[in-house]
A and B are shown apart, each in its own frame.
Chain A
Amino acid sequence: MKALVAVKRVIDYNVKVRVKADNTDVDLANTKMSINPFCEIAVEEAVRLKEAGVVSEIVVVSIGDKSCQEQMRYAMALGADRGIQVEAEGKVNSLDVARILAKVNESENADILLLGKQAIDSDNNQTGQMLAALLDVPQATFASEVKIADGKAQVTREVDGGLVTVEMDLPALVTTDLRLNEPRFAALPKIMQAKRKPLEVKTVADLGVELTNSIELLSVETPAERSGGIKVDSVDALIDKLRNEAQVI
């Protein structure tokens, strides 16, 4: 059984972003970049499925310039077997990403596709669902548990108000939520080994995909800052403020 995992290179989640002075975008110059945390969870889940003997091969795919190979190597250090980088400059919108991944999967024919539920830069939460639509396969978003047996995936999803469990025939697509697993640390020998794993580079043109770029980014602003208030010195003072000043209780 083959697993296809898509990963995105994003700003490290510990870094606070700054908006550029000209308001055209955020400033990512000299910023620490990492694998998107939800993508990392997707890689970890694929590796666990492989360790459990369910999956036999893990293919990791990333779209971007050469720098995204760093995150692909990281995914390989975690346990992915080989990588496909689709060379693209600048921002690629979700539908185009899904179209590229669908094209990659045409030759890969993965049984299970694992993606993070959202990237922490654009916060879109779209690519997995779009890819499932284009491939006409079932989708289980916000997964907190994945069980695969007998050609079926049983997935528990974290939804508003509780949990929902669905069963999907394979091939199927899963997007990962935070609590699906806790990714392992990549050990040094694995990082060294990952450098020798096969990594194929393709271009968007090779795949025959024409980018739509139908969403334009007009400007980026820093949100209005909320200013701090006062400190009170006792529970009584707090209750008094809430009752008489804010009038919220």
Chain B
Amino acid sequence: MKTLIIAEHDGQNLKGATLSAVTAATKLGGAVDVLLAGASVAGIATQAAAVSGVDRVLTVEDAALEHTLAEFVAPVAQQLAGDYTHVILGASTFGKDIAPRVAALCGVNQISEVIEVVDADTFKRPIYAGNAIATVKSNDSLKVMTVRGTAFAAADTGGSAAIEAASATVPAAKVRFVGAEVSESDRPELESAGIVVSGGRGVGSKEDFAKVFELADKLGAAVGASRAAVDSGFVPNDMQVGQTGKMVAPKLYIAVGISGAIQHLAGMKDSATIVAINKDEEAPIFNIADYGLVGDLHDILPELVSKV
């Protein structure tokens, strides 16, 4: 048993999804190596080497790897994958972009969004927007998989892995990075925040969403949204919590003006404590909320902000 983790980073820091991947790998047992592909990764390699459970950090540096595009990263991973039984990535947009391309290059299938490792070949994963949990067995010699961050806690630091340069060639590809628009925010990252405040269509407008942000800032929380709020143009899509958006499992999730569509519940039902604020007392969100408050959010939110 030997696992290769394809690390996600932004050129400066290792991303949280990779720490969850390390935890999933340690559940398999065996050696755990981390592939760090980028333009210049010395600093990140030190971070990866300090993650508990990692045996080796393999670095591949090339200017073409700067923006970690799948067309460059996947062939590098494929060249190294021959030594491993498992290749694991976090189920972030980075992992979802790259893992299937690695699997196809290796001629194997891929297992997406694993939430439980049953044994080395068998895994549990949600299907149908989380309305069913499938147990699947892979008969491929190499298992390429993505793991859901909410199901595997981030690995701690305290490790002291060896850092080695790996030899892999980066092929040419007919793709160029044009630019990125990073959502600037002082708030915590949605997927790793301890508290998340989410707004739905009931918030009413883009302007009224300011009340949701205000409560989040008072609590030091990240801000999420339902698909309905995103579709209504209140907030950008990267704030969407749900089956087609982000999966979160904070200690406190406050759903404001969210009715509780199945697709939204799939993204937050693993939260430790759920609060629902909605004027419709029949809203399905109350069926899963630990604490429900029926009323007009436009009155409740300012009162909450002033009192917490």
Chain A residues in the interface with B (C-beta under 8 A): 11, 16-17, 19, 26, 93-95, 98, 118, 120-134, 137-139, 141-142, 144, 154, 157-169, 172, 177-179, 212, 214-223, 226-236, 238-239, 241-242, 246, 248-249
Write out the residue numbers on chain B whose beta carbons fall within 8 Å of the beta carbon of A127.
100
Write out the residue numbers on chain B whose beta carbons fall within 8 Å of the beta carbon of A249.
195, 219, 252, 308
Q: By the criterion CB–CB under 8 Å, are B308 and A179 in contact? A: no
Q: By the criterion CB–CB under 8 Å, are B183 and A123 in contact? A: no
Chain B residues in the interface with A (C-beta under 8 A): 67, 69-71, 74, 92-94, 96-101, 103-105, 107-113, 122, 125-140, 173-183, 189, 191, 195, 219, 227, 230-231, 237-238, 243-244, 246, 251-252, 262, 269, 272-275, 281, 286-294, 300, 303-304, 307-308
Bound CA–CA A214/B136 (angstroms) = 10
When the two chains form the complex, which single residue of B96, B140, B175, B182 contacts A125, counting CB atoms closer than 8 Å?
A: B96
Least Cβ–Cβ distance between B130 and chain A, in angstroms: 6
What residue in chain A is nearest B189 (Cβ atoms)?
A: A161
15 more A-B residue pairs beyond the given contacts A160-B93, A234-B293, with a C-beta to C-beta distance below 8 A: A123-B126, A124-B112, A130-B110, A158-B237, A160-B246, A161-B183, A169-B174, A172-B175, A223-B126, A223-B133, A229-B274, A235-B300, A238-B275, A248-B195, A249-B308
What residue in chain B is nearest A165 (Cβ atoms)?
A: B178
Q: By the criterion CB–CB under 8 Å, are B133 and A178 in contact? A: no
Bound CA–CA A157/B74 (angstroms) = 18
Q: Most chain-A CB neighbours within 10 Å: which of B181, B262, B287, B291? A: B291
Bound CA–CA A212/B139 (angstroms) = 10
What residue in chain B is nearest A130 (Cβ atoms)?
A: B104
Known: A159-B93, A168-B174, A219-B134. A125 touches B128 (CB 8 A): no
Least Cβ–Cβ distance between B159 and chain A, in angstroms: 25
When the two chains form the complex, which single residue of B69, B94, B113 contacts A160, counting CB atoms closer than 8 Å?
A: B94
Known: A160-B238, A216-B136, A223-B133. A242 touches B291 (CB 8 A): yes
Write out the residue numbers on chain A whose beta carbons fall within 8 Å of the beta carbon of B97.
129, 139, 141-142, 159
Least Cβ–Cβ distance between B94 and chain A, in angstroms: 7
When the two chains form the complex, which single residue of A93, A131, A162 contacts B238, counting CB atoms closer than 8 Å?
A: A162
Least Cβ–Cβ distance between A38 and chain B, in angstroms: 8
8 contacts between A and B (CB under 8 A): A126-B99, A130-B100, A130-B101, A160-B94, A166-B177, A222-B132, A228-B287, A234-B293
What residue in chain A is nearest B183 (Cβ atoms)?
A: A162
Least Cβ–Cβ distance between B306 and chain A, in angstroms: 9
Q: By the criterion CB–CB under 8 Å, are B293 and A238 in contact? A: yes
Q: By the criterion CB–CB under 8 Å, are A122 and B292 in contact? A: no
Known: A141-B96, A144-B237. A178 touches B227 (CB 8 A): yes
Known: A121-B127, A231-B294. A215 touches B137 (CB 8 A): yes
